[in-house]
Amino acid sequence: MHKLLTKNPGQKMLLLGNEAIARGAIEAGVAVASTYPGTPSSEISLNFFQMAQESDLYFEYSTNEKVAMEVAAAAANSGLRSMCVMKHVGVNVAADALMTLAYVGVKGGMVVLTADDPYMFSSQNEQDNRYYAKLSGLPLVEPSSVEEAKDLIAYAFEISEKLQEPVLFRTTTRINHSSAIVTLGKIKVPQTKGDFVKDPFNLVTVPAVSRKLHVKLLENIEKAKEFSEASQYNFITGNGKWGIICNGVSYNYASDAIKELDIADNIRFLRIGFSYPMPEKIIKPFLKACEKVLIIEEGEPYMEEQVKAFAQEEGLILPIRGKAKDLFSRLYEYDPAQVRENIARFFEVPYTPAVKPDISDVPELPQRPPTLCAGCSHRATYYAVKKAAEGLGTIYPTDIGCYTLGVLPPLSTADFLLCMGSSVGTGCGFSASTDKKVISFIGDSTFFHSGIPGLVNAVFNNHNFTLVILDNSTTAMTGHQPHPGVDMQDFNLTGYGRVSIEKVVRAIGVPHVEIIKPYRVNKSIAALKEAIDYEGVSVIISKEACTLYAQSLKKARGKPFYINEKCKDHRECVNELACPAFYIEGERVHINADLCSGCAVCAQICPEKAIVPVRSKEKIRSS
Amino acid sequence: METKRLIIVAVGGQGNLLASKVLGEAALLADIPVRMSEIHGMAQRGGVVESAVVFGDAESTIISDGEADVLLGFEPSETLRALNKCNAETVVITNTAPLPPFTVAIGKGTYPDLNELQKLIRQKTARMVAFDAQALAKQAGNFMSLNMVLLGSLIQTGIMPVSAENVKKAIRTSTKKAFVDINIKAFELGFEAAAKAA
C-alpha cells in the first residue's frame, strides 16, 4: 500500500512537504486531482498518480495547467472535492480559467495549489503569486511548515465549501522540499460521484450573468475577510511593543531569531497564514499596540502594502518597514541569519554574527553546472543541428525542459526563452523580423502543453523557420511524468489514448515534416539541412527515448564505448559534444564505462574511428 | 534541546538525499525533533545537491553561511566549495576521492590540488576527518554505498544527537532490501575510519 494511504491516525511519519500536502488532500477526502508537472510541486502529483492506482481518487496529468484547472473546476461544480496543482508560472497559463472561475464559484471544495520558487532554483522567474489572490478575489492560505501544510489543506477545503469559491494555497520551494515529522490524521472517505445541476444564468458567463456574479464575488470577499479575521492560522504571540509580521517560511526564521536574540519579552509577533483577504480586525489593533513594526515576507511587499494602508486608515504614524535597501530585499529567498540580523538592526538589539571563514585564499573552483546526461538524445540532436546550420548565423529560440541546458557551451543552442511554448511563437516573430535563419527547439511534453497554437500560427501566417521537436517519450525534467504522446503501457496502465506528434504536425498542414533518429548522426544532419533550406515552416521530429527513462524502464542500454590506441587526441568528442562520460587523465581522453550509455554518437564523429564498443573488461583497462 | 546543524554536499547521483532521509528516520525513531531541506531540482543532471538537516528546537529548515556545526562532503572540491557554511568551530568530514566536474575535461576550470584542499579546510575549521570513502564503499560491496560510509563517520564524531543503533535501524527500514547488508557494512567501515582519524 502507498505509505500516504496509511490508516493509522496518530502515527508519526517523516514526510517531504509535498508528501504532507498530498496526504492532507487525502485526509480531506479529495476526489479529483489534476496537474501539469512543475518543480517544486511535482512530487505532490506524483503521489496522487501513485495513490490513484490503488484508491478511489481520480487523478490526471492534464495537457497543461489551464486544462487541469478546467478539469478540477468542473469536478468542483459537480459537487466533488477537487485539487489542482501547479508551479507558480503554471498559474499564468491557468489564469484565464481562474479569473472567471472566481465569478462562477464552486459547489464542492476546490483547492488550487501554486508552488512559488523564490531564488528560482528551477524556474524562469520568481513571481509572487499572492497577487493572484488579490487579482481574482479568491481566498489565499499559506503554510509555514511541513506539518502545517498537511492540516491547512483540510482547512482550505472547508473554507472553499463555506464560501463556494476555490481557495488558493501558496507554498514556496522551502515548504515543498523540506521534510519534517508529521502526525497522520483521519482519512475522510471521499464522495466520488458528482452530479451537475443546470443553472445557466449563474454558470454561463455571458456579460449579463457576469455583471451579477461580480457583485456576488465582492460580497464573498467580505465574507472571506471575516473568516480570515477568525482564522486560527492568523495568530499573535507575545505582548511586547515591537511588532513583527510574517508569513510562510520567514515565520520560522523570525521565530528562531527571537529566541536566539533573547527578545521574546519585547516582541508582539503576528503570523499570517490566511493572507487574502488580510485580517483587518487583527492587524489594526496589533498596530495600535506596537511602537514599530517589521514585516518579513519573501518576494513582493504584499503584506506591507496592506498593513500600511490599514495604518493610514487608522491615522497611525508608527514606523512600518519591510522592503528597503537596509532591510529586506524583493529578490531571492531569505535565510535565518539574514532575518536575525535585520531584526537586530531594526529593533537596535546587540548582535554578533557568526564568524565566517576567510576564503580569499581558496583557489577558484571549477564550476559544476547541471548538464545533459551522458548519452542524452538532445545532445545528439543539438550536434546535428549545429553541423547542419554551420556558418548560417542561426537564431535558436528554445523552450522549457532538460534541453534548455543546451544553453551551455559547447552546444550553445539556446538564444531566447520566455515560457512554455515560446520557442514556436518567438520563432514566428524572429523569422518575420530578421533575415536570420531561425531554428526553434521544443520538447514533446511542452509541444502538447502550448506548442501547438504557435505551430498553427506559423502555418497560417506562412513563417519561415524550422521547429525541432525533441521527442524523448516523457516529461523528463520534472521526473518522467507521462504526456499525451506516451505509451501508458510503460506504466502498466490501460484505458488511455495516445496522440501522435507526427500526425498532429501533419494535420496542422506543415509542408515539410521529417522524423530523425538523432543517434544516426549523418542521416540526421542531412535531414536537418533539407529542413533548414526549405522556405516556409518545416518540422523535424527528433525521436529517441530519454536515456534515464529508458534505463528506469529497464529497456536495453547499449554497450559502453572506449577510446583505443588509434586516438590522435583531436578531442572533437570532448570539445563538441561535451558528454559527461568523457574524462581526461594523463593528457588523454577516456570514457567512464559506468556513465556511457552506448549511444555511439561520439564514435561516429571521431576522425580516427578510435571510439569503439567495449568487448571485455581488459579493453577498458588498456584504454 | 540544543540545535545541531548539518550540511551535506554532494554531486547528483551520490545519494545524499537518501543519507539525509536515513538521518531523519533515525531521529524519528529516537523522538528527536528534526527538520530538513534539500535542493534537488537538477539532482539527476550532474549538478551539486545540497541538503540541510537541523536537529533540535529550531523551526528553520535551512542553514545560513557560517552556521553549520558539521559539513559532510561527498566530493572533495564540493566540500571546499561549501566552506562558506562553516565557522572556526565546524567539524568537516570529507570523502577524498575526487569526481572532477565536466568543465575540467573541456578546459573551463582546474581541479584543486587535493593536499592543498585538505590544508585549507583544516586551517579554517575546528577539525577535519578526511579519507577515501569511495574505496571503503567498494570494500563494503558497492560503490553506491558511499553515502552510508559517510553517515558512519558522521555518527562516529558524536556531534549529531542520533545513535549508531538508530541509524542502523533506519538503514534497515529505509534503504533497498537487497542493499541493506552492504549498507550496514559500509556504515561500520565509515564509523571505524572516522575513529582511526581521531
As for the ipTM of the complex, it is 0.96
Q: Which residues of A touch B66 (CB under 8 A)?
A: 337, 353-357
Helix A207-230 vs helix A146-163: crossing angle, to nearest 10:
130
Query: How far is the alpha carbon of B133 from chain A, nearest alpha carbon, in Å?
Result: 18
CA gap A122, A115 in Å, rounded: 11
**Over the stretch B89-137, which tens digit does the pLDDT of each residue have?**
999 999 999 999 888 888 889 999 999 999 999 999 999 999 999 999 9
Indicate the residue of A335, A356, A371 with minimum beta-carbon distance to B102: A371
Residue A605's SS3 state is: helix
CA gap A329, A394 in Å, rounded: 39
Helices (H) and strands (E) in chain A, counts: 23, 22
Q: Which residues contact A151 (CB under 8 A, 6 or more apart)?
A: A24, A185
- What integer best gives the mean pLDDT of chain B? 94
Q: Are A405 and A370 in contact (CB under 8 A)?
A: yes
A312-323 as b/e: b if 16+ CB within 10 A? eeeeeeeebbbe
The answer to whether A121 faces chain B, any CB pair under 8 Å, is yes
H or E element at residue A284:
helix A280-288
3-state secondary structure A525-581: HHHHHHHHHCCCEEEEEEECCCHHHHHHCCCCCCCCEEECCCCCCCCHHHHHHCCCC
Most distant CA pair in chain B, distance: 49
Q: Which residues of B touch A143 (CB under 8 A)?
A: none
Report pLDDT for A479: 86
H or E element at residue A501:
helix A501-508
Is A253 in contact with B84 (Cβ distance < 8 A)? no
Query: E-assigned strands of B41-176?
Result: 48-55, 70-73, 91-95, 127-131
Q: Which residues contact A100 (CB under 8 A, 6 or more apart)?
A: A205, A210
Q: How far is CA A343 from the centre of its chain?
A: 32
Q: Which residues of B touch A584 (CB under 8 A)?
A: 104-105
Is B106 in contact with A410 (Cβ distance < 8 A)? yes
CATH fold for domain B4-98+111-197: Pyruvate-ferredoxin Oxidoreductase; domain 3 (3.40.920)
Is B124 in contact with A357 (Cβ distance < 8 A)? yes
CA gap A217, B140 in Å, rounded: 64
Q: Are A308 and A294 in contact (CB under 8 A)?
A: no
CA gap A476, A21 in Å, rounded: 23
Angle at A417 between CA A412 and CA A418, to 5 degrees: 170
CA gap B140, B148 in Å, rounded: 10
CA gap B77, A243 in Å, rounded: 44
| B117 to chain A: closest CA residue | A362
Residue positions counted in chain B:
198
Report pLDDT for A181: 97
Query: How far is the alpha carbon of A430 from chain B, nearest alpha carbon, in Å?
Result: 30
Q: How far is CA A57 from the centre of its chain?
A: 23
Indicate the residue of B12, B106, B116 with minimum beta-carbon distance to A578: B106
Angle at A63 between CA A61 and CA A67, to 5 degrees: 95
Q: How far is CA A404 from the centre of its chain?
A: 14
Map grid coordinates 575513529 to a residue. B195
| A182 to chain B: closest CA residue | B28
CA gap A117, A92 in Å, rounded: 14
**Over the stretch A163-204, which tens digit does the pLDDT of each residue have?**
999 999 999 999 999 999 999 999 999 999 999 999 999 999
H or E element at residue A227:
helix A207-230
Is A367 in contact with B105 (Cβ distance < 8 A)? no
Q: What is the mean pLDDT of each run of 10 residues along chain A (623 residues)?
A: 97 98 98 97 97 97 98 98 98 98 98 97 96 98 98 98 98 98 97 96 98 98 98 98 98 97 98 98 98 98 98 98 97 98 97 89 92 94 98 96 93 97 98 97 98 98 98 91 93 95 98 98 98 97 94 82 95 93 89 92 96 71 42
Q: Rg of chain B's alpha carbons, rounded to an integer?
A: 16
Is A357 in contact with B66 (Cβ distance < 8 A)? yes
Q: Which residues contact B138 (CB under 8 A, 6 or more apart)?
A: none
With a CB-CB cutoff of 8 Å, which residues 239-278 of chain A face chain B?
249, 251-253, 255-256, 259
Q: What are A575's three cell numbers?
A: 570539445
Is A178 in contact with B33 (Cβ distance < 8 A)? no
Is B106 in contact with A337 (Cβ distance < 8 A)? no
| B67 to chain A: closest CA residue | A354
Angle at B110 between CA B105 and CA B112, to 5 degrees: 125
The answer to whether A285 faces chain B, any CB pair under 8 Å, is no
Q: Are B61 and B54 in contact (CB under 8 A)?
A: yes
CA gap A367, A141 in Å, rounded: 39
Structural domains in chain A, sorted by start: 3-230 (3.40.50.970), 234-346 (3.40.50.920), 377-552 (3.40.50.970), 561-622 (3.30.70.20)
Q: How far is CA A142 from the centre of its chain?
A: 17
Query: How far is the alpha carbon of A354 from chain B, nearest alpha carbon, in Å?
Result: 6
Q: Are A93 and A149 in contact (CB under 8 A)?
A: no
CB pairs under 8 A between A and B: 174
H or E element at residue A523:
helix A521-533
With a CB-CB cutoff of 8 Å, which residues 134-193 of chain A face chain B?
144-146, 173-174, 177-181
Q: Which residues of A touch B24 (CB under 8 A)?
A: 14, 179, 181
Cα of first residue to Cα of last residue in chain A, in angstroms, is: 48
B105-143 as b/e: b if 16+ CB within 10 A? bbebbebbeeeebbebbeebbebbbbbebbbbbbebebe
Indicate the residue of A370, A548, A583 with minimum beta-carbon distance to B105: A583
Going A157 to A160 to A164 to A167, the CA torsion angle's sign is negative
Q: Which of A356, A570, A590 is best to mutate for the B interface (most B CBs within 10 A)? A: A356
Indicate the residue of B44, B100, B105 with minimum beta-carbon distance to A548: B44
Q: Which residues of A touch B128 (CB under 8 A)?
A: none
DSSP code of residue A189: P
Give the strand pairing for A234-237 and A32-35. Answer: unpaired
Is A336 in contact with B62 (Cβ distance < 8 A)? yes
- Give bridge partners of residue B95 from the DSSP assignment: B131
Query: How far is the alpha carbon of A457 from chain B, nearest alpha carbon, in Å?
Result: 33
Q: Which residues of B touch A574 (CB under 8 A)?
A: 105-106
Whether residue A353 is preceded by a cis peptide bond, meaning omega within 30 degrees of 0, is: no
The answer to whether A453 faces chain B, any CB pair under 8 Å, is no
Q: Which residues contact A169 (CB under 8 A, 6 or more apart)?
A: A111, A112, A113, A114, A140, A141, A142, A152, A153, A156
Q: Which residues contact A436 (CB under 8 A, 6 or more apart)?
A: A393, A394, A395, A430
CA gap B94, B180 in Å, rounded: 23
Q: Are A388 and A368 in contact (CB under 8 A)?
A: no
Q: Are A126 and A332 in contact (CB under 8 A)?
A: yes
Q: Are A366 and B104 in contact (CB under 8 A)?
A: yes
CA gap A313, A296 in Å, rounded: 22
Indicate the residue of B27, B87, B106 with minimum beta-carbon distance to A356: B87
Q: Which residues of B touch A365 (CB under 8 A)?
A: 77, 80-81, 109, 112
Residue A602 φ/ψ region, left for φ over 0, alpha for ψ in the -120 to 50 degree band, beta for the rest: alpha
Q: Which of B34, B42, B44, B60 is best to mutate for the A interface (most A CBs within 10 A)? A: B60
Report pLDDT for A623: 40
| B55 to chain A: closest CA residue | A180
Question: Hey, where are the domains in chain B?
Answer: 4-98+111-197
* pLDDT band for position B44 (cuts 50, 70, 90): low
Q: What are B101's three cell numbers?
A: 566536474
The answer to whether A595 faces chain B, any CB pair under 8 Å, is no
Is A356 in contact with B104 (Cβ distance < 8 A)? no
Q: Which residues of B touch A578 (CB under 8 A)?
A: 102, 105-106
Q: Are A167 and A138 in contact (CB under 8 A)?
A: yes
Which is nearest to B180 in space by CA: B139, B134, B148, B138?
B148
Q: Are A86 and A35 in contact (CB under 8 A)?
A: yes
Query: How far is the alpha carbon of B192 from chain A, nearest alpha carbon, in Å?
Result: 28
Indicate the residue of B24, B109, B120 with minimum beta-carbon distance to A366: B109
Helix B146-156 vs helix B164-174: crossing angle, to nearest 10:
160
Q: What are A75's three cell numbers?
A: 469536478
Indicate the residue of B41, B64, B124 with minimum beta-carbon distance to A121: B41
Q: Are A383 and A601 in contact (CB under 8 A)?
A: yes
Residue positions counted in chain A:
623
CA gap B94, B149 in Å, rounded: 11
Report pLDDT for A277: 98
Question: Which amino acid is located at B159 in the chain?
Answer: I
- How many C-beta atoms surround the C-beta of residue A331 within 10 A? 12
Q: Which residues of A touch B62 (CB under 8 A)?
A: 174, 335-336
| B33 to chain A: closest CA residue | A181
Whether residue A410 is preceded by a cis peptide bond, meaning omega within 30 degrees of 0, is: yes
